[in-house]
Amino acid sequence: MLLTRRNLMQTALTLGAMHAFPGLTWAQARPLVFATFTGSWEEAHRAVLVPAFRKATGNADMVLDPMLSVDQIAKVNAARSNPPIDVMLHDPGPALQAVAQDLVEPYPVEKSAYYKDLIPAAQVPMGPAPFFQVVGITYNPETVKTPPTSWADLWRPEFKGRVGITNLNSTLGTGFMVELAKMHGGSEANIDPAFKAIEALRPSLAAVAANPGQLATLFQQGQIDISPGNFNAIQILKARGVPVEFVIPKEGAIAFKTTIHIVKNSPNRELAFKLIEAALSPEVQATLMEEPYLIVPTNTKVAIKGELAKTLAKDHAEIAKKFVFQDWAKINEQRSAWIERFNREIRV
C-alpha cells in the first residue's frame, strides 16, 4: 500500500476524531451505563455493586455515570431511540415521571431470582427497589440535651433560631412537608396544614437550605442544631466526627424506596437485567448494609444487623411498622404548585 500524504492525513484525522469523540466507536457496542446518584451512592456502588456485576457476567464492561434523577430523565428524554443510559436510579417522584413519560421498560419479573424475596413495598413491576432511604430527625447531641422524639419537637421554644429545613426541590423537603400535613390533619392531597405549620416554624428557622447536602455543612458550622435528615447522609457526617445523632420520631420515619429501572430502547437490556439482579441479591445488599455504607436492604433474606438494627429497626417486620411510605403519585400531581407556593411564602 502506498502511503500518500492525503492517506496519512485521513488516518490521523480519523484517529484524532475517535479520540476526541469516543462515542463514535461505541455506536455498535458500548458498555453498560448505570446512572447512579452522586456522592456516597456512587462510592458504595463502585465498591460493591460493580464487582458483583462483573463476577456475574464474566467481566462485562460497565461504567457508572452518576447524576441526579432529573438529569437522568432529561438525558434519556433527549435521545429516546438511542438512550445514553441503560439503567436509571430514581427517588419515588422522578420514578413516576420516568414511567409516565414512557422512558422505562417493565422489569422481567418472571425471569428474576430475587424479586419475590423483596418486601412488598419494594416489589414494583416497572422497576424494583434495591434499597430505602430513611428520613428522621437529626440533632446535635452537644447542644440538644434531651433527644427529640417527635417532629413536633422542632417547634419547641428552645430551638428558636436553631432549626434547619430544605426547600421542596428535593425528595426530602417534599416528603417532610407531606408528613407535616399528615400530622396536622392533612394528607398528600391537602397540604394546607403543612404550610400553616411552616409559617409557625418561621421564628425558629436558622436556615432554609437550597438542597439536603447543604444541611450537612450547616451542622458542621454550628449554624443549626436540629433538622429533618437522611439517615445515610448523617452516618457520613458522623463518620467524619461531626457531632450529629439520628432518631426516628414516634410518628415513624419517612421512607422512600429508591427504584432501579431498565431504560426503554437500551441496547444492553440483558446486561441491565443482570446489574439489577445483582443489586437485588442478598449478597450485595448484605455487604451494603455494613459499615461504612449502612444502606437499608429490601431483600427479606438479608437479616438486619449492626448500626441499622440499633438505630432503625431490628427486622423487616419492624421496618414495615416504623417506616411511613408516602403516595408519590398523589404528591406529583400537585408538587409544582407546592414548590411555587413555598417559593412565595418562605421568601424573605
Partner 1 sequence: MAATLRDVTTYDLKLAAPLAAGFVLFFVTPLAILLALSFQTDPQGGHYGLTQYVNFLGDRFSLGVLGSTLWLGVKVTALTLLLGYPVAWLHQRSPGWARGLIMLLVLLPLLTSVVVRTFAWVVILGRQGIVNATLAWLGLIDTPLKLLYTDGGVVVALAQVQMPLMVLPIVTALGRIDPNFADASSVLGAGHWRTFRKVILPLSLPGIVAGCLLTYAAAITAFITQSLIGGGQMLFMPMYIYQQASTLQNWPFAAAISIVFLVSVLVVVSIFNALGRLSRGYANA
CA distance 310 to 292: 15
Check residue 230 for interaction with partner 1 (CB under 8 A): no
CA dist 75 and 107 (Å) reads 21
> Cα(216)–Cα(223) distance, rounded to whole angstroms?
10
Report if residue 242 touches partner 1, rule: CB under 8 A. Answer: no
Among 47, 109, 200, 210, binds partner 1 (CB under 8 A): 210
Quick check: 227 binds partner 1 (CB under 8 A)?
A: no
Candidates 5, 6, 145, 344; binder of partner 1 (CB under 8 A) is 344
Report the alpha-carbon distance of residue 101 to residue 208 in Å, rounded. Answer: 31
Residues 6+ apart with CB under 8 A from 207: 164, 165, 214, 215, 218, 223, 224
Give the distance from CA 300 to its chain's centroid: 20
Q: Is 329 in the site for partner 1 (CB under 8 A)?
A: no
Give the C-alpha separation, 176 to 169, whole Å: 12
> Per-residue x/- mask for partner 1, residues 114 to 153, rule CB under 8 A?
----------------------------------------
Out of 57, 214, 265, 334, point to the residue binding partner 1 (CB under 8 A): 214
222 is a site residue for partner 1 (CB under 8 A)? yes
Instruction: Say whether the peptide bond before residue 92 is cis (omega within 30 degrees of 0).
Output: no
Q: Which residue among 221, 239, 240, 318 contacts partner 1 (CB under 8 A)? A: 221
Q: How far is the CB of 217 from partner 1 (least distance, A)?
A: 6
Does position 201 interact with partner 1 (CB under 8 A)? The reply is no
Which residue in the set 36, 72, 133, 166 belongs to the binding site for partner 1 (CB under 8 A)? 166
- Segment 72 to 111, residues that bind partner 1, using CB under 8 A: 73-74, 97
Binding partner 1 by CB under 8 A: which of 49, 207, 233, 304? 207
Distance of CA 119 to the CA centre of its chain: 18
Tell me if 183 contacts partner 1 by CB under 8 A.
no
Alpha helix positions (H), the chain:
5-20, 40-44, 50-57, 69-78, 92-100, 171-183, 192-201, 212-220, 231-239, 269-280, 282-289, 306-311, 316-322, 328-346
209 binds partner 1 (CB under 8 A): yes
Which helix (H) or strand (E) segment holds residue 247: the answer is: strand 245-247
Positions that interact with partner 1 (CB under 8 A): 68, 70-71, 73-74, 97, 165-167, 169, 206-210, 214, 217, 221-223, 335-336, 339, 343-344, 346-348
